[in-house]
């Protein structure tokens, strides 16, 4: 049978659901309320909030990138990927509530605005908001390119069309519902998507472990290359075996600091108990951590691949019934869309809200004009990301994701995370962002350091500069915003 028509039918049904959710979510966005667009009116409950956190964290890199890394480097990627679930749970349990309360008190609608307000506002705050917004736009556009490429590659093989057409189709739907419903649409579509992602992970894991003998599987991998199961290094995370354990602090900061992740903490309802969110995050994240095993399965039993990133598409094509393959491919497209829509919403917010307020002192909040600018930014930046993908040189999906997210993490750790425990000033925050940006980007592009080592060194440099420069410039010191007010 030709299952292409089934795949098209599944896609049209899924797209209709996504757009319908966008339309329903638009009720959270009034004509004069930017907070509805930017933060879903602070209305997220525990399950929806946990779902959008997990869906955004385990995404295109989880379903496409990490199997490719496991295919190339072996079981070290399975361990590295597993650290994300506990790290995200820790971030929710021990950081999210504090950040949420402070943001609610100050009225922060974005992470760059949170940085500006926590460092005193005024002209210095506007400078910080503008710089943080600009860095967010540059680095998340890099990450967005990898997500668009991933969803375009998978959609092309699924629907029987070329990759460019597939990418156009996928990003267009994301633009429509994100533009319509803002973060509420992103969160609710993520909730639908993560349910499909978890179901897909269970089906894939069941097929792999029930179809072969685990002893034979291990023997095949050992015959191909003993380091696949017994790694001599932690490559691509670093030369030392212990380098893979750096993924745990990296993943914690990934969830707590990155603007497209941390903004969800600001969007929870005031009465939500974070321990409930943490439980949902742990369960869903733990199940999705099984996905990289696909790379090891393909290395042992699949055909030779020209590109490691083809591990998941070729696995589905080789080992799944076409009808099941179509449904699971839809779930994986969900995974990639869940991060793409989050990044698109964040870069659009940084452009239409943060840069606008930073550049124009008299810019209006909560006006019909502001909401129109928010929505226009979603369209323009979504199309820009698509064009960047079309002309980007070849790259490995996971590496480009680390370049964007890891460098942004290094830039933001001081003014977002360290400021929770020790309050610096504008000069310290500005220096920290620039030093973190340059250090992480330089180490990732100009050296052979591991993928998480560069960003973590950037985090250390950024944090040290945040404290040192704040002290040297006689900025306010102490614990939290109360010290700054004093």
Which of 55-64, 143-152, 415-424 shows the highest mean pLDDT? 415-424
pLDDT for the residue numbered 477:
40
The domain total for the chain is: 1
CATH of the domain at 168: 1.20.1730.10
What's the confidence (pLDDT) of residue 396? 59
Instruction: Give domain status of residue 301, yes or no.
Output: yes
Which of 130-139, 197-206, 356-365, 475-484 comes out lowest in average pLDDT? 475-484
What is the percent of the chain with per-residue pLDDT over 70, rounded to a whole number? 93
Q: Please indicate, yes or no, if residue 71 is contained in any of the structural domains.
A: yes
Angle among Cα 203, 323, 194 to the nearest 5 degrees reads 45
Helices (H), 302-425: 311-319, 322-349, 356-359, 368-391, 397-412
- d(Cα 132, Cα 142) in Å, to the nearest integer? 16
Mean pLDDT of the residues in the chain: 87
Owning domain of residue 46? 4-395
What is the per-residue pLDDT for 93?
93
The 10s digit of each residue's pLDDT in 304-338 is: 898 888 898 899 889 998 888 888 888 888 877 88
pLDDT bin (cut points 50, 70, 90) of residue 395 is low
Rounded Cα distance, 191 and 320, in Å: 25
> CA nearest 130: which of 441, 426, 436, 455?
426
| DSSP symbol at 304 | P
Quickly state the pLDDT bin for 380 (edges 50, 70, 90): very high
Angle ∠(330,335,338) on CA atoms, nearest 5: 120
- Residue 482 in this model has a pLDDT that exceeds 80: no
Per-residue confidence (pLDDT) for residue 365, from 0 to 100: 72
Cβ atoms of 44 and 269 closer than 8 Å: yes
Determine the Cα–Cα distance for residues 457 and 324; give it in Å rounded to an integer. 43
Asked if residue 350 is part of any domain, the answer here is: yes
Q: What does pTM read for this prediction?
A: 0.86
What's the whole-number mean pLDDT along residues 448-474? 91
pLDDT-derived band of residue 366, with 50, 70 and 90 as boundaries? Answer: low
Average pLDDT for 361-381: 82
Under the banding of pLDDT at 50, 70 and 90, the label for residue 154 is confident
In a domain, 483, yes or no: no
- 405 lies in some domain: no
**414 in a domain, yes or no?**
no
Mean pLDDT lowest among 347-351, 359-363, 462-466: 359-363
* Residue 448 lies inside a defined structural domain of this protein: no
Q: Please determine, for residue 471, whether its predicted confidence score (pLDDT) is greater than 90.
A: yes
Is the per-residue pLDDT at 484 higher than 70?
no
Lowest mean pLDDT among 203-207, 236-240, 257-261: 236-240
Answer for the pair 268, 42: CB distance below 8 angstroms, yes or no. yes
Which stretch of 86-90, 120-124, 219-223, 473-477 has the lowest confidence by average pLDDT? 473-477
58-85 residue pLDDT tens: 876 778 788 988 999 999 999 888 999 9
476 pLDDT band (50/70/90 cuts)? very low
> pLDDT above 90 covers what percent of the chain?
49
pLDDT of residue 92: 94
Question: H helices of 43-96, where?
Answer: 46-57, 60, 66-73, 76-82, 84-91
pLDDT at 175: 92
Task: Judge whether 476 lies within some domain.
Answer: no
What is the structure's pLDDT at 486? 33
């Amino acid at each position: 049978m030709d299952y292409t028509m089934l795949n098209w039918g599944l896609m049209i049904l899924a797209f209709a659901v996504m757009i319908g959710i966008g339309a329903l979510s638009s009720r959270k966005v009034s004509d004069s309320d930017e907070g509805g667009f930017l933060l879903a009116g602070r209305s997220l409950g525990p399950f929806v909030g946990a779902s959008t956190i997990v869906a955004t964290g385990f995404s295109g890199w989880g379903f496409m990138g990490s199997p490719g890394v496991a295919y190339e480097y072996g079981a070290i990627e399975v361990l590295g990927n597993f650290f994300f679930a506990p790290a995200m749970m820790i971030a929710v349990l021990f950081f999210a509530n504090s950040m949420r309360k402070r943001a609610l008190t100050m009225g922060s609608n974005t992470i760059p605005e949170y940085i500006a307000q926590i460092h005193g506002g005024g002209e210095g705050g506007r400078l910080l908001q503008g710089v943080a917004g600009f860095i967010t736009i540059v680095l998340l556009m890099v990450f967005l390119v990898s997500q668009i490429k991933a969803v375009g590659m998978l959609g092309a093989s699924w629907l029987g069309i070329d990759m460019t057409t597939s990418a156009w189709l996928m990003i267009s739907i994301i633009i429509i519902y994100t533009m319509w419903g803002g973060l509420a649409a992103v969160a609710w579509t993520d909730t639908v998507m993560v349910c499909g992602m978890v179901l897909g992970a269970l089906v894939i894991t069941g097929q792999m472990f029930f179809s072969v003998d685990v002893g034979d599987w291990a023997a095949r991998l050992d015959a191909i290359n003993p380091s696949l199961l017994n790694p001599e290094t932690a490559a691509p995370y670093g030369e030392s075996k212990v380098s893979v354990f750096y993924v745990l602090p990296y993943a914690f900061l990934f969830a707590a600091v990155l603007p497209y992740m941390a903004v969800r903490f600001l969007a929870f309802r005031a009465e939500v108990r974070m321990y409930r969110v943490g439980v949902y995050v742990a369960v869903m994240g733990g199940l999705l951590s099984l996905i990289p095993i696909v790379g090891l399965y393909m290395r042992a039993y699949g055909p030779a691949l020209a590109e490691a990133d083809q591990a998941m598409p070729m696995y589905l094509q080789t080992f799944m019934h076409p009808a099941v393959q179509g449904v699971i491919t839809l779930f994986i497209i969900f995974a990639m869309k869940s991060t793409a829509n989050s990044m698109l919403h964040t870069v659009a917010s940084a452009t239409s809200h943060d840069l606008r307020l930073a550049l124009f002192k008299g810019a209006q909040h909560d006006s019909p004009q502001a909401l129109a600018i928010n929505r226009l930014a979603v369209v323009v930046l979504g199309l820009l990301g698509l064009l960047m993908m079309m002309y980007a040189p070849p790259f490995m999906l996971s590496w480009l994701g680390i370049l964007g997210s890891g460098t942004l993490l290094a830039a933001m750790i001081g003014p977002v995370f360290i400021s929770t425990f020790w309050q610096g000033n504008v000069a310290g925050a500005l220096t920290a962002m620039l030093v973190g940006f340059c250090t992480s980007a330089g180490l990732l592009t100009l050296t052979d350091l591991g993928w998480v080592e560069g960003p973590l060194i950037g985090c250390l440099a950024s944090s040290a500069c945040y404290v040192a420069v704040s002290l040297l410039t006689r900025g306010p010191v102490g614990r939290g915003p109360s010290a700054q007010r004093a």
